[in-house]
Amino acid sequence: EAQVTQNPRYLITVTGKKLTVTCSQNMNHEYMSWYRQDPGLGLRQIYYSMNVEVTDKGDVPEGYKVSRKEKRNFPLILESPSPNQTSLYFCASSQWTGGGEKLFFGSGTQLSVL
């Protein structure tokens, strides 16, 4: 089954404790991206990756890191989480075709930073 898998689904942590949210896709997509969703703000893009070793900043990259060492994986790293990073995070992957670039989203990770 084609899917984007995020882990963990829920995460509670404390300020300053490094964490990683994993994202993996099994569709051989070149494009992957991370978003955070906050009430009243919609989804905001954090980082995206066009292919292995190619990443770029989205609209809200501060406080986040990413890496793309393999095509299928695109982890999101918070080196020193702060309470303002409490949010719902989504990973997505896509492949551009003549019909457009439909995103496939993971199930989301609800992060709380205390």
What is the contact surface with another protein in residues (CB under 8 A)?
31, 33, 35, 40-45, 48, 50, 56, 58-59, 90, 92, 99-108
Q: Give SS3 for 62.
A: coil
Task: Give the nearer residue to another protein in terms of CB position, either 53 or 79.
Answer: 53
CA neighbor of 87 nearest in space, from 106, 63, 109: 109
Task: Give the nearer residue to another protein in terms of CB position, either 15 or 51.
Answer: 51
The structure tokens listed for 53 are: 């070793």
CB of 25 to another protein, least distance (A): 13
CB of 19 to another protein, least distance (A): 21
CB of 91 to another protein, least distance (A): 10
The residue ranges of DSSP E strands in the chain, in sequence order, are: 4-7, 10-13, 19-25, 31-38, 42-51, 54-57, 65-66, 76-78, 87-94, 104-105, 109-113
* Whole-number Å distance between alpha carbons of 84 and 8: 19
CB of 45 to another protein, least distance (A): 6
Task: Give the nearer residue to another protein in terms of CB position, either 31 or 79.
Answer: 31
Task: Give the nearer residue to another protein in terms of CB position, either 43 or 52.
Answer: 43
